[in-house]
Amino acid sequence: MKCGYVALIGRPNVGKSTLMNHMLGQKISITSRKPQTTRHRILGIKTTESGQIVFMDTPGMHQIEKKALNRYLNKTADITMSGVDVIVWLIDGFSWHEYDEKILSKLGNVGLPVILAVNKVDKVKNKEDMLAFLQQAQQRFPFQAILPISALKNTHLDELENCILETFSESELIYPEDQVTDRSMRFMAAEIVREKLTRRLGDELPYALTVEIERYEELKNITKIYAIIWVERSTQKNIVIGKQGEMLKKIGTDARLDIEKLIEQKVYLQCWVKVKKGWSNNERALQSLGFSDRE
C-alpha cells in the first residue's frame, strides 16, 4: 500500500476544510463562509484498498500578523509544510492574489512535490481564461500536477486523490484503517460549537471568541458537555447571549444536534459566555486555551 501525509495549504477561506471533508466523505473540519475559520492543524485519515492518505488541514496563511493568534496560525501552517510527503496548494479563481505570492515564495524552499488544485471550477464561465491561467501557473513553479477541481461539487477529486497517492512510497498503514482523525471528541465538540458561533454571528465577532470544553462526561445513555465561550469584551458577551438568551440558545441547539450526529448518542450541552480580555493577543492566554506548538 502507498501511505503518506499531505498538507492542504492556501489563503484563508479558499476551501481547504471543505476539500478535506469531501475527500474523506465525512465532516472532520469545521467550515463557514468567513475566512480564518480553521485555527488548528487537524488530521483527516482516508484508507482505501490503494493506500492511506493523511490529510493535514491547516489554518489559512495570513498576510499581516497583527496579533499573537495570527502569528500562531502562520507558524502552524509553516510547521505543517515541513513534515509531509506532498503539498496540495488550493487556490480559487484564475488570478494570483498577494496571499498567493507569499505562499509561492515559501514553496521554493520546501523541496517537496506540490500539486496545485484550482478550486471552484464549477463557477467558471470562460474556459479559455482557465486554460490560460493553468499554463501561466506551470511556468511559475514546477508543479507535480495542476488540477481544476470543485471541492463542493466533488469535481475531479478522484484525480486529485490519485495524484497524491502517486507521490507516496509503499509502506505499512500509519493509522488503523478505521480511524478518521487524530482529534478527540472533546476537541471536535469545541470546534462544532465554534462553527455555530461563526455562522450565526456577524463578520467581526467570531475572530474575538474561542471555545473551551470545561467538562466532557460520557455516561451510559447520554454525553454531557459543558462549554465556555470566551470573548474579549463584555459587549461581545451580550451579543453572543442575545436578547433574553435567544442567540445562545440557537447556537447551543445547532451545536448539540451536530454533536449527536457525530457521536451517535444523546447529548446534553451547556454553554456559558465569559470574558478574557485580549486573549487573542496574549501568548500565555493562547496556550491556556489550547493553542500550542504541538498542534
In angstroms, the CA 116 to CA 93 distance is 12
Instruction: Give span(s): CATH 3.40.50.300, the chain.
Output: 2-170
Residue 230: how many CB atoms within 10 A of its CB? 21
What's the whole-model pTM score? 0.80
| Banded pLDDT at 31 (limits 50, 70, 90) | confident
Q: Which of 98-107, 155-164, 235-244, 285-294 has the lowest mean pLDDT?
A: 285-294
Instruction: Give span(s): CATH 3.30.300.20, the chain.
Output: 185-288
In angstroms, the CA 270 to CA 264 distance is 18
Closest C-alpha among 36, 42, 105 to residue 74: 36
| Banded pLDDT at 170 (limits 50, 70, 90) | very high
Give yes or no for a contact between 208 and 66, defined as CB atoms under 8 angstroms apart: no
The x, y and z cell numbers of residue 256, run together, are 448539540
Domain 185-288 has CATH 1.10.40.30: no
Residue 274: how many CB atoms within 10 A of its CB? 10
Give yes or no for a contact between 119 and 41, defined as CB atoms under 8 angstroms apart: no
Closest C-alpha among 115, 143, 146 to residue 132: 146
What are 143-156's pLDDT values in tens digits? 999 999 998 899 99
| Mean pLDDT in residue range 179-207 | 85
Contacts of 28 (CB under 8 A, 6+ apart): 20, 21, 42, 44, 57, 180, 181, 183
The x, y and z cell numbers of residue 14, run together, are 479558499
In angstroms, the CA 185 to CA 4 distance is 24
Q: Which of 133-137, 155-159, 164-168, 202-206 has the lowest mean pLDDT?
A: 202-206
Q: Which of 73-77, 79-83, 99-103, 185-189 has the lowest mean pLDDT?
A: 73-77
Beta strand ranges found along 151-292 (DSSP E): 169-170, 210-218, 222-231, 266-275
Report helix, strand or coil for 8.
strand
Q: Rounded to an integer, what is the distance from CA 35 to the centroid of its chain? A: 10
Contacts of 205 (CB under 8 A, 6+ apart): 231, 236, 239, 240
User: Taking the domain 2-170, which CATH number applies?
Assistant: 3.40.50.300
Q: Look up cell 450541552; give the residue.
A: 269
- The answer, yes or no, to whether residue 278 has pLDDT greater than 50, is yes
